[in-house]
Amino acid sequence: MSGACAECLRRGFLVGHLAPSIARVLDGRGRRRAGAVLSLPEAQLIAAVASDTAAARARQFLKGWNEGEARAVLTATAVEAVCGHSAAYPPGLGDLEDAPATLFVAGGLDRLSKAMASPGVTIVGARRASAYGLEVTRELGRGVAAAGLTVISGLALGVDAAAHRGALEAGGTTIAVLAGGTDVPYPRLNRGLYRQLLENGPIVSELPPGQRPYRWSFPARNRIMAALGRMTVVTEARDPSGSLITTDFALDLGRVVGAVPGQVTAAVSQGPNRLLRDGSALIRDAGDVIDELFGADAADAFRDERMKPKPELPDVLARVLEAIESGVGLEAVAEASDLSARDVRAALGKLELLGLVTRHGVGAYERAAGC
């Protein structure tokens, strides 16, 4: 079978029905409590999370549940479902003690199978990331996808969105794991990105169509992201944070964990810097990811391909690019390049259009990642 069996599908819809009750006992902070609850058999799950009235409604829901009606909901929302009894169920999820009985998929099971045919790299981090963090993440997603790996993230603002966008820019494959139904774009600010992802790759969730996300469902979905990837990379994150919950799951599953080093005085660097202190892999670019997964020879081959000569820049542009250090302003670039402010301003505009520099703050520039 390529979809979900009736028993697993019923379990998936039951979790959706009980989502508000689960929110009563899980506040979104206790990762192990979420796992312990979600792994319970149906009767025990109802008893653990529901009040007497809600429990009676849940039992009535199960009694009246109709497979045909449930599948009609999936058809109406263009969502498919797959369970652990199917060959299409992502094998990595089977490593979870509380693996979702049913995984709901928007964008097609065929795309999911294709995406999972390549090793996955989960990239997570802060919603309020710095300009540096966003640029590094985007380049990392781009490089990982260009190498033929699948980028996995959660469609959140900040790092997640940057990872997805980088993968899309490379024409690669990316999977979004949502905390609500796969037909419910969240956050709303990322609706445009959601539509792009839906056109190019699968969007998955353990909650059925129509469900809004809950506080508990964010750390719960993090276990799915960790299980789908062979490696989890954090670019920027506070400590503690939801991103570090994902790395905890990854470590529990025996996956590789990596982190991008950051400024020691920056709050958003606390998470990755602590991971590095504790022995996680240092990640500077996609080559480091490939090194961790496949060895140094594969990473060297990747870097050799990336370092092939690029078209030479005109002299003025090359001098301005060479003069740029992180966070410098126009006057400093003009002095270092021995050019007029007018020439530097024009050159910076052209370099921005070429994607070689990025601007942040008020008149501050830095090289784009990989340049």
Percentage of residues of the chain with pLDDT beyond 90: 72
Q: How confident is residue 341, by pLDDT bands cut at 50, 70 and 90?
A: confident
The residues with which 258 forms a beta bridge, in sequence order, are 233, 281
Is the predicted pLDDT of residue 37 greater than 60, yes or no?
yes
Instruction: Return the top range by mean pLDDT from 38-42, 67-71, 144-148.
Output: 67-71
Q: How confident is residue 305, by pLDDT bands cut at 50, 70 and 90?
A: low
Write down the pLDDT at residue 333. 82
Q: b vs e for 24-35, b when ≥16 Cβ sit within 10 Å of the residue's Cβ?
A: eebebeebeebb
Can you tell me the mean pLDDT for 206-215?
96
Cα separation, 329 vs 365, in Å, equals: 6
Q: In the sheet that 281-282 helps form, which strands lie side by side, from edge to edge?
A: 79-83, 102-106, 203-205, 173-177, 150-153, 120-124, 231-234, 256-259, 281-282
75-98 pLDDT, tens digit per residue, is 999 999 999 999 999 999 999 999
**From the CB of residue 154, how many other CB atoms can be counted at a distance below 10 Å?**
27
* CA-closest candidate to residue 321, choices 273, 362, 353: 353
Average pLDDT over the chain reads 90
Write down the pLDDT at residue 350. 80
Is the predicted pLDDT of residue 52 greater than 50, yes or no?
yes
Q: How confident is residue 363, by pLDDT bands cut at 50, 70 and 90?
A: low
Q: Which residue has the tokens 């009609």?
A: 72
The residues with which 176 forms a beta bridge, in sequence order, are 153, 203
Q: Is the dihedral of CA 335, 341, 347, 353 positive or negative?
A: positive
Give φ, ψ of 35 to 5 degrees.
-65, -40
Cα separation, 48 vs 25, in Å, equals: 8
* CA-closest candidate to residue 174, choices 234, 101, 228, 254: 228
Q: How confident is residue 32, by pLDDT bands cut at 50, 70 and 90?
A: very low
Write down the pLDDT at residue 313. 78
How far is residue 80 CA from its own chain's centroid? Answer: 21
How far is residue 191 CA from its own chain's centroid? Answer: 16
Q: How confident is residue 191, by pLDDT bands cut at 50, 70 and 90?
A: very high
* All domains in the chain, ordered by first residue: 6-303 (3.40.50.450), 315-367 (1.10.10.10)
Q: How confident is residue 311, by pLDDT bands cut at 50, 70 and 90?
A: low
Is the predicted pLDDT of residue 369 greater than 90, yes or no?
no
Is the predicted pLDDT of residue 309 greater than 60, yes or no?
no
Q: Is the separation of the CB atoms in 242 and 217 below 8 Å?
A: no
24: Cβ contacts below 8 Å, ≥ 6 apart: 49, 51
Cite the DSSP H helix spans in the chain: 6-25, 31-38, 42-49, 52-64, 67-76, 109-116, 131-146, 159-169, 191-200, 217-228, 242-252, 270-277, 286-294, 296-306, 315-323, 330-337, 341-353
99-115 pLDDT, tens digit per residue, is 999 999 999 999 999 99
Question: At 125, is the secondary structure helix, strand, or coil?
Answer: coil
299 against 318, higher pLDDT? 318
* CA-closest candidate to residue 285, choices 371, 156, 196, 164: 371
Instruction: Return the top range by mean pLDDT from 78-82, 313-317, 332-336.
Output: 78-82
Q: Is the dihedral of CA 274, 277, 280, 282 positive or negative?
A: positive
Q: What is the dihedral of CA 191, 192, 197, 202, to 10 degrees?
A: 20
Can you tell me the mean pLDDT for 128-155?
95
Write down the pLDDT at residue 310. 53
